[in-house]
Structure 1
Amino acid sequence: MKIAYISTYLPKQCGIATFTNDLIQSIDHQDSTITQHVIALSDQPYSYPGEVVFQINTHQQLDYIQAAHFINENKYDCVVLEHEYGIFGGNSGVYILSLINQLHMPLLVNLHTILEKPNIDERAILIEIAKRASIIVVMSSYAIDLLQKIYHVHENKIRLIPHGVPAFDYKQDIAKEQLHLAHKKIILTFGFIARNKGIETVIQALPKVVQEYPETIYLIVGKTHPNVLLESGEEYREYLIELIKEKGLEQHVLFVNDFVSTEALTTYLTACDIYITPYINEAQITSGTLSFAVGAGAAVLSTPYWHAKDLLADGRGILFDFKNYKELKNILIDLFDNPKKLEDLRIKARHHGEKTTWNKLGHSYTKLFKNLFLAPLSPDTKTKIDRLESFPKFRWDHLDRLTNHVGIIQHATFATPNYREGYCLDDNARALLVSLMQHDAFGEKATKKRISTYLSYIYYAQREDGLFHNFMNFQNEFLEETGSEDSFGRAIWALGYLFNTAPYNDFYQLGSLIFFKAVPHFENLKSIRAIAYTMMGISEYLKQQPNDERITELLRKLAFKLVHEYEASADEDWKWFEPVLAYDNAIIPLAILMSNKFLNDDKLKEIGFTSFYFLENIIMQNGFLSIIGNQKWAKQNQNMSKFGQQPIDVTATVLLFREVFEITKNNEYFEKMIRSFEWFLGENDLKLPLYDHHTKGCCDGLETYGINRNQGAESTLCYFISYITIYKELNIKLQVEE
């Protein structure tokens, strides 16, 4: 049996690295036939031991994908993920999702942090991890409640295994002698030093204690947390030193500024009389230091954070209130005054600790691994959009939030309109298209007002010569004389769609006026995407006026412009219209296939399908859509960029698969159309949804750091163009099946 651990690892000075090392040794002690390897998260070069077989540069997203390939190729029977948000790259550690979702074997997850009030990314990431996991291991009963209430994890998937501890011999006198602290009353705190540890509370409690018990020594064992060192250096430690001087405790408080070995730590814990975790807030679900102290049979005092309330229940320790040094002082004096009470605490802690040694917990993990190996638990099945009842509801909330009497605002800061960026023709054309599609699909009366608003913007943006302005500021001043060709093409696409769907004749007449005023410029277009959009608009028009020979001939001329570009760039391996795959790629073969319904040309059909197959093989891999990011366009024989992926490309891909399905009637393309839409819902490289069920908007893209949480007009409109397309196709297909 082969196990792969995804974790930080020794010699990195990190609690999770130590945990993983201890777990591996405990498993090896239980069953030496199990092969155990580590996929190590590295923020710098380390001299790793032999069990580390692959290293992930924490901040290199591609490393996570390569690690998944390595694990799959080496056929591990189970993978163990040690999860803590901060050890993985991307926003809130999002990169780990691209690894675990490509694994072909059961996944066991040890959760070291579970947040009661996670941010959007933290919650989404943990939910996704829980979906993929076969088993989730937590270390306190309170963690089970959090997983169920906040992250909706089913109880059948959760296992409670306490944090493991070393085996202690409990020879306190010998340990004190080894530390040269014989006959001292030792109070101990250990772990990384940071302000949230609340060590000043103990220092403030000590003056009265040492006055009555001058043999008292408080040991603070541990280095300053690496993240704290980067941000503020030794500022906190220096503050503590000044506080010690102020209280006259120089002879009673000792720092051990080191990341001590397990062996040395065992000595400190065995020697101490009282162990204190004075953390200043309750939101800590697991504390390895607390577990170690109980395991060592120390009398443990703690503030009431989550793990402490759980672990110190039933008289295994004493809780005192956050930052309450007076209460702590009274407890310390009372315990020193009453040696029997102190000894009772130590005995209860010891009895509990004996049940949580690594040797005993190793048996629990070994049993889990073997159960997964013999009968692997399937991860949650993702909700697939294959029935109308599983489809999200269409809502105007966010689009209406972005829209005023002039038109739709193009950008948002998170979900709030950003007036500084004003309006653009592109988005008002898309908004017109969504409004027409929505009215056609659902017949909502209020949508007619929206159609009027967006059509009015396009009319206002058109110049006397038939071209268009694009950008307009919030003061309703156009910012350039002539807009881009792409914005021109998108306007023509929306206007073409209006010919078949206008709810009022007045809308039809105004749309026709704008469309034909722009027609003289069709032949002058040079941008292949502008040409493609214009061809789509013409094709929509010809559905309503199929005998318009003049417009049909214009369509032919535009189509063969694309043929010319294809023949200039394509070769035996590169079947595309440019030497790069850039943005909105699927729109080009889509336009050719749409236009060929009216042109019926074998060459167009061949190029349309050849370029479609070429693009499909690049963007549809591993069962989900992975479009080309705009960080670096994909050139011939070069790797494409995974980020930032934009909703505009997804919408074009949905429309392309819809078109190919309608032509071929091959259900494979219907399924790929659905899978492409699910990019918005989390079936993407980061495995996170971009559609926001709260705001009813769509986030702007997948970036290297995670989700771009701004919800601009383009992204939300692209989501709803895709949405309505899928809804209509599902409706039609279901009617046919019935």
Structure 2
Amino acid sequence: MTTSGDRSGAGMPVPAPSFTHLARLSDDTGLFEHARHAIVRREHGYCTDDVARGLLVASREPEPSAQVLGLAECYLAFLTHAQDGRGAFHNRLGHDRRWTDQPGLGDWWGRALWGLGTAAARNPADWIRTEALVAFSRGAARRSAAPHAMAFAGLGAAEVLRRHPGHAVAGALLDDAAGAVGAADPDPRWPWPQQRLSYASAALAEVVIAAGHLRGNAALLADGLRMLTWLCEVQVRDGRLSVVPVGGWRRDGARPRHDQQPIEVAALADACATAATITGDPAWRIALGRAVGWFLGHNDLGMAMWDPATGGGYDGLTPHGPNFNQGAESTLALISTLQHARQRS
């Protein structure tokens, strides 16, 4: 990967990840999905999608506090309760502690496996690793028809394989996840395997990179790196990160810039961190720095996308400024990206 004109905000002071607002959004059941500014909106309940991401970031902490370990325990209990006997997951739980849906294999299944796989590989508590691996293995026997769900699940499988290289169920899932993403297009103007960039696109490139590396497939690894290189390049404007907005981009369509979502930035940071670790190429750390800079104000509007007073991440960047609500998804995206910032030194 090559870079030029880096203006990623590398000179900005980068705060340490804070779990203060995540704890504010959590109770003894799980993690509430929405907030009005920094105040939790309990009426919207909980979702597996966010709880899984919560388990992921809590398990990534190298020296977690008692508070963070407690959050991981809570989130793991939620996910094991959400999982049925065949490995599918409920997604939505009301504040009355009743599920509002049937178990399924959508994105929330994939993210649940990503969170469980990360906990099984990285959490410092032995019993959390053990229980998470049991739940992961049950869910990893299933398959989703959705490429994004498969990509998220495959990233969980990659985490398991890094700790347990002989885990056959994780290996098969990672292979199938890369296959679900599809082959990179040979056209350098649009090498993406799909006709549209939608949400968390970098996760698709990351799972191809991880599969190529962990399964010893050099061609697959090269494809994934080419996809990610292009994705980084098309999301830079005037030296700053300007990510695909919530409406997405089509191959031959217009490329609007708003509303930008923190999940896009976090997905890019995840993928660039993985590429940096695998390749050792310092250019990936420059790309990661742009993702960190986006939250700190090096974005299209020059406005910070987090609240230092609460530790919460803002829900989106609109043409008029930040959406100041501090829900779970955006706060988790902030924490995840700041965790990767530690690797830039």
Question: Smaller-chain TM-score range?
Answer: over 0.9
Secondary structure of 2:295's counterpart equals coil
Q: For 2:220, which of 584, 587, 604 is the aligned residue?
A: 604
Aligned twin of 2:145: 526
Q: Does 1:542 align with 2:161?
A: yes
Aligned twin of 2:4: none
Q: What does the per-residue CA deviation read over 1:576-629, in whole Å, with 9 as the maximum and x for residues that have no partner?
A: 121111111111111111122211113312321221122122102311110011
Deviation at 1:525, TM superposition (A): 1.4
Q: For 2:64, which of 426, 440, 443 is the aligned residue?
A: 443
- CA distance in 2 between partners of 1:501 and 1:685 (Å): 35
- CA distance in 1 between partners of 2:221 and 2:24 (Å): 42
**TM-score, structure 1 normalization:** 0.44
Bigger CA drift: 658-667 or 408-417?
A: 658-667
Q: Does 1:417 align with 2:40?
A: yes
Native 8 Å contact 1:470 1:484 kept in 2: no
**How is 1:243-642 mapped onto 2 (pairs within 5 angstroms)?**
384-385=9-10, 390-438=13-61, 440=62, 442-483=63-104, 485-521=106-142, 524-563=143-182, 566=184, 571=187, 573-630=189-246, 632-642=247-257
Secondary structure of 2:296's counterpart equals coil
Secondary structure of 2:199's counterpart equals coil
The one-letter code of the counterpart of 2:93 is M
Deviation at 1:662, TM superposition (A): 2.1
Aligned twin of 1:47: none
Deviation at 1:483, TM superposition (A): 4.2
Q: Does 1:695 align with 2:310?
A: yes
Native 8 Å contact 2:177 2:207 kept in 1: no
Native 8 Å contact 1:580 1:634 kept in 2: yes
**How is 1:34-53 mapped onto 2 (pairs within 5 angstroms)?**
none
Change (3 A) 1:546 1:385: same
- CA distance in 2 between partners of 1:405 and 1:548 (Å): 32
Secondary structure of 1:588's counterpart equals helix
The one-letter code of the counterpart of 2:226 is T
- CA distance in 2 between partners of 1:444 and 1:386 (Å): 28
Secondary structure of 1:680's counterpart equals helix
Deviation at 1:487, TM superposition (A): 0.8
The one-letter code of the counterpart of 1:398 is H
Native 8 Å contact 2:92 2:101 kept in 1: yes
- CA distance in 2 between partners of 1:653 and 1:695 (Å): 24
Q: What does the per-residue CA deviation read over 1:470-518, in whole Å, with 9 as the maximum and x for residues that have no partner?
A: 0111101111103451111111111111122223222122112211111
- CA distance in 2 between partners of 1:664 and 1:621 (Å): 25
- CA distance in 2 between partners of 1:554 and 1:412 (Å): 35
Q: What does the per-residue CA deviation read over 1:80-128, in whole Å, with 9 as the maximum and x for residues that have no partner?
A: xxxxxxxxxxxxxxxxxxxxxxxxxxxxxxxxxxxxxxxxxxxxxxxxx
**How is 1:93-242 mapped onto 2 (pairs within 5 angstroms)?**
none
- CA distance in 1 between partners of 2:121 and 2:139 (Å): 19
Native 8 Å contact 1:471 1:483 kept in 2: no
Q: What does the per-residue CA deviation read over 1:269-328, in whole Å, with 9 as the maximum and x for residues that have no partner?
A: xxxxxxxxxxxxxxxxxxxxxxxxxxxxxxxxxxxxxxxxxxxxxxxxxxxxxxxxxxxx
**TM-score, structure 2 normalization:** 0.93
Secondary structure of 1:679's counterpart equals helix
Native 8 Å contact 2:58 2:64 kept in 1: no
Native 8 Å contact 1:435 1:450 kept in 2: yes
Q: For 1:675, which of 255, 277, 290 is the aligned residue?
A: 290
Change (3 A) 1:513 1:529: same
Change (3 A) 1:528 1:574: same
Aligned twin of 1:229: none
Change (3 A) 1:622 1:482: same
The one-letter code of the counterpart of 2:302 is K
The one-letter code of the counterpart of 2:52 is A
The number of residue pairs the alignment matches comes to 339
Aligned twin of 1:723: 338
Deviation at 1:405, TM superposition (A): 0.6
Deviation at 1:409, TM superposition (A): 0.4
Q: What does the per-residue CA deviation read over 1:228-261, in whole Å, with 9 as the maximum and x for residues that have no partner?
A: xxxxxxxxxxxxxxxxxxxxxxxxxxxxxxxxxx
- Structure of greater Rg: 1
- CA distance in 1 between partners of 2:39 and 2:206 (Å): 33
Native 8 Å contact 2:209 2:222 kept in 1: no
Native 8 Å contact 2:141 2:173 kept in 1: no
Secondary structure of 1:702's counterpart equals strand
Native 8 Å contact 1:426 1:487 kept in 2: yes
Change (3 A) 1:483 1:646: farther
- CA distance in 1 between partners of 2:328 and 2:169 (Å): 35
Deviation at 1:519, TM superposition (A): 2.0
Change (3 A) 1:450 1:600: same
- CA distance in 1 between partners of 2:323 and 2:169 (Å): 45
Q: Give the unaligned 5+ runs of structure 2.
A: 1-6
Q: What does the per-residue CA deviation read over 1:535-561, in whole Å, with 9 as the maximum and x for residues that have no partner?
A: 111110001111234432332233223
Native 8 Å contact 2:141 2:169 kept in 1: no
- CA distance in 2 between partners of 1:532 and 1:519 (Å): 12
Deviation at 1:712, TM superposition (A): 0.1
Q: What does the per-residue CA deviation read over 1:349-387, in whole Å, with 9 as the maximum and x for residues that have no partner?
A: xxxxxxxxxxxxxxxxxxxxxxxxxxxxxxxxx994459
CA RMSD, aligned part only?
1.9
By percentage of residues, which structure has more strand? 1
The one-letter code of the counterpart of 2:17 is F
Native 8 Å contact 1:414 1:711 kept in 2: yes
